[in-house]
Structure 1
Amino acid sequence: MDDRLSIHVKIADRDYTFKSLPEEETFLRDAVKLIRDRIDVHRGRGVRDTQDILALVALDCLVASLKTEDQARRTQKRIYDKVSQIDQIATSPPA
Structure 2
Amino acid sequence: MLHPVFALNLALCFFVIGVMGVVFNRKSILLVLLCLELILLAVNLQLLSLSSLLHDVEGQVFAFFVLTVAAAESATGLAILVVYYRLMGTIGGEYMNLLRD
Give the TM-score band, short-chain normalised.
Answer: 0.3 to 0.5
TM-score of the aligned structures, taking structure 2 as reference length:
0.37
Higher relative contact order (CA 8 A, sep 6+): 2
Max Rg structure: 1
TM-score of the aligned structures, taking structure 1 as reference length:
0.39
